Amino acid sequence: MPSELSATRRRQLLAGPSKIHIQVGEAVLPQRLPKEMLLHLSRKAQDLLKPLRPGSSRTPTTILKFSSDEIDIVALNAVIKWMFAWCNADKTVPMLTYKNTANETFAETVCLYQAVRALDIPAYFTGADLPKRIKEWIAMAPLTKEEFVMIIGRLQGDESVVRKALHNTAYHKIRATLPEASAIVDFVREAGNEKLLEQMKQLEDFVLAKRDGTTT
């Protein structure tokens, strides 16, 4: 695995439009996800789910497939929440299948994992071990301040994954200016994670020392 990503590759991985495919039983509905399409998608999904009420011979299955670019997180979360709320009200248990792709983005991995955890969805993942994927992404290149804050913010409710994800994230791998490092320290302090706070204070000291030329 390369130790660094090119700037071009990082831009490709962290930006762009996306597709989502909602598959229920044998019916497939592909839609792009601009926010104005969300209501339309929800209505279509509801129509597809109606034949799958209790007593149906088919097991409702919801499959989300991502394209190679970053998803619309707001729309994705809304679709997942709506579909599972509807199914659970009907006392059905859909299966969420995450299909890993060669061009999966870091943001996709983190945000899908966060969405599933936050909604406490009964889920079965195929082709991807999400905590492992998050660790792999972190190991591939130094993190930006925004990426780091996203990890902590998105995974705040799952300390074990945060701890595993940060195991390979030495503070000197985080690209940050002194104001950014201080902002990260403040962010972690507010989150109440004392062990992580100690490590992030080291980040602040490291950036300060680097600025003053006392470290390499």
Is the predicted pLDDT of residue 190 greater than 70, yes or no?
Answer: no
pLDDT classification of 203: cutoffs 50, 70, 90: confident
> Per-residue pLDDT tens for 18-73?
333 433 333 333 333 344 444 444 454 444 444 444 444 444 444 444 333 334 44
Q: Could you tell me the pTM of the whole model?
A: 0.30
Domain ranges of the chain: 1-128, 142-216
Mean pLDDT of the chain: 50
State how far the Cα of 43 lies from the Cα of 77, in Å rounded to an integer. Answer: 16
Alpha-carbon gap, residue 91 to 85, rounded angstroms? 10
Contact indicator for 167, 132 with CB cutoff of 8 Å: no
In this prediction, residues 3-12 reach a mean pLDDT of 43
Kindly give, in sequence order, each residue whose CB lies less than 8 Å from that of residue 71, ignoring residues fewer than 6 positions away.
18, 20, 33, 107, 108, 111, 112
**pLDDT given at position 171:** 57
Distance CA 110, CA 138 (A): 11
Residue-level pLDDT at 152: 53
Mean pLDDT check: name the lowest of 32-36, 137-141, 146-150, 208-212.
Answer: 32-36
* pLDDT tens figures, 64-110: 443 333 344 444 555 555 554 444 444 443 433 344 444 445 444 55
pLDDT at 200: 73
